[in-house]
Amino acid sequence: MTVRVYRTHAYETTHENRIFDRLLNELERAWGDSDDLIILLGNFYCDGCEIDAAVMKKNSITVIEFKDYGGNITFSENGLWLAGEVQVRGGSKPNPFIQVRDNKFAVLNSLKRISFSSDRQPNLRYISGLVLFHKPITFDEEQLPPNIERWFHVVDFAGTVQRLSQITSREINLSHQDLAKIVQHFSIPDYVPPGWGTKAITDSLSAVDTAKIELPNSLESVVSRIDQFLCSSKKILIVTGMMGTGLHLLQKAIADKSRSLRRNCSVLAPNSKIASVYPVESKSIYSHIFTKNYKVEKDLPIYGLNKNQDTEQQVYIVGDAHLISDSQLENDVFRYGSGQLLTDFLEYTEIEKTKRQVIFMGDMFQLTRGKIDESALSYERLQAAIGGEIEQINLDFILPGQEQNLFVRNCQQIAQSIHCGRFNQLAAIADDSNCIQIVDRAREQEVSKALFLEDCRFTKFIVFTNESVNRINNQVRQEYLGLGKEIVSGDIVHIHNSPVALDRQQQEPTYISNNSFAEVLEVYPNTSPLSQPLKGREQPIRVIFLRLRVRLLENGKEVEFYCLRDYLYADKPELDKDTLIALQVSAISRFRQQQKQVIESEESDKSNELAKFLRSDPHLNAARLRFRVSSSNLV
């Protein structure tokens, strides 16, 4: 076996191109004649992060950043790095450590979307990071804190091969087929170094097609039935399966099968966050079927259906379809379509008038949006909607190798309870390692603190009530991180809605994606509250805002917005009805005041102007945030 190398395109700087070619030569010298397979990836993007290189072996994945500096290197977690007296920059990040850390977790999150073929799934938390200096350096490794030195490395070329050979983990166990899947996952082409000529034959590794990888027997028969459906005149197929049955493996198999039949295919998810983890190119169902412009009904902006421009034989694969429902969905700021997503989607597809087909894929044992009989997994509801026969497939078998997976076993136990109609006193299967059940309340703080400080990014607390969630959030922030009660710089927050960014220079408002995570960079003091009188209330309703500057974790973009203080600190992530009414009345009042200052326009124009104003008002569209129990300065 040998070293396989892939690169998207040349680097922008000379030193990066030189470092990459030299790194390849070092790898060839060390492993060119070995039986091991070494993969070198170069200059690729991953979840919005630009990554210089990554080296993968059967027992390690190392994310690498190139630096063209030399001399004595001074390390800092949060502050400046120095090479002698020269600052070592970390691209758009404060320093190389933060740059490598963020890139590591971008790769980790991306690789979670792959279904590995190894008998034991690799534990991706053991991905390593390395800063490679082009010039000779001296570096005292005693500068690295204990929780960092286990995965973070700083070397120059004199120590590169030795360090990469030392980086191994029993928790990462990759077969050649797994390595091939990673290469294909990133879609990086072969790289031929200058002077090497043209390859006589393309590496078989880069030609691996995951759709052609042998599926488990339980799924081969399912693919055959899906093939029959695609060749039939039936309109809708429902495919259900719980965790561990391989539902995710079918998405790409179905997409490739559709295309092999010369059918265009759209893979849709309930939102963009879920779409980002699918193994195939996909998008939010909302962005696909609804317009970007809106009209107004009763002072509420409504996003209508797009005109369907898809082919007459389009195939729609809708993942996590238990979240696609006709349960009325309307927030207090705007609405998509009729508010009944399933009905709107079926109307958009024009499924009764065309040869288009829909495959709904979901888990009957997951929480649905509204009642189960209103969801896209309800045979009766779909049959009533289109008046035709609905095909159904249920994945009955746990995939080989997943039988002992602790999370799968817990899901099986819960699914069995749901099947039997038992919803109380559900016991968890714990192994005191991956899953720890705390029965003694007195030990809760001791155990949770030890686990969180050991590895906060991979520690999840699961409790029964919102009040308990809030209590643990406060405990982690105040007692473990020492952050105090109030939100401060360094906090990580979860954005529950789609707030408007405060950018006066933009002609059009900028909306931040809901379900995003962000790091707080600054909390501005003295933000004015809103005081709004309401009929029937003795006192005006007072709404307190915080103005924040944050960095979005998904793309590193810095934005400012208002957030609702009461929502952030409430026991439950809810706003009371009076607050919602006060926000709406106040926004409409501001609009009317604004209209008095302009020439009177037609009533229809006023309606459109009101919609535009409401959708872009930063107070009405203030962020609804909750704390995420993590800290940007912990790894």
Residue pLDDT, tens place only, 311-347: 888 999 999 999 999 887 666 677 888 889 999 999 9
Q: Where are the alpha helices (DSSP H) in 290-372?
A: 341-349
Characterize 571-605 residue by residue with b for buried, 16 or more Cβ atoms within 10 angstroms of its Cβ, and e for exposed: eeeebeeebbbbbbebbbeebeeeeeeeeeeeeee
- The model's pLDDT over 247-279, given as tens digits with 9 standing for 90+, comes to 888 888 888 888 888 888 889 999 887 887 787
- More confident call, 292 vs 324: 324
How distant is the alpha carbon of residue 382 from its chain centre? 30
Tokens of 202: 């393309």
Tokens 């209209």 sit on residue: 595
Q: Which helix (H) or strand (E) holds 630?
A: strand 625-631
d(CA 513, CA 451): 31
Q: Is residue 198's pLDDT more than 60?
A: no
DSSP string of 465-520?
SHHHHHHHHHHIIIIIS---SS--TTEEEEE-S-PBP--TT-SS--BPPTTEEEEE
Mean pLDDT of the 433-441 span: 75
CA separation (Å) from 110 to 278, 279, 280, 310, 319?
10, 9, 12, 29, 18
d(CA 241, CA 232): 23
**Banded pLDDT at 575 (limits 50, 70, 90):** confident
Q: What is the pLDDT of residue 206?
A: 41
Q: Is residue 156's pLDDT more than 90?
A: yes
Q: Is residue 601's pLDDT more than 60?
A: no
Cα Rg, the chain, nearest whole Å: 27
Q: What is the pLDDT of residue 201?
A: 41
Q: Which of 114-118, 333-337, 387-391, 538-542 has the highest mean pLDDT?
A: 538-542
Q: Where are the alpha helices (DSSP H) in 128-232?
A: 146-149, 160-166, 176-186, 217-230
Q: Which of 3-12, 211-220, 315-324, 396-405 has the highest mean pLDDT?
A: 315-324
Q: Is the entire prediction scored with pTM above 0.85? A: no
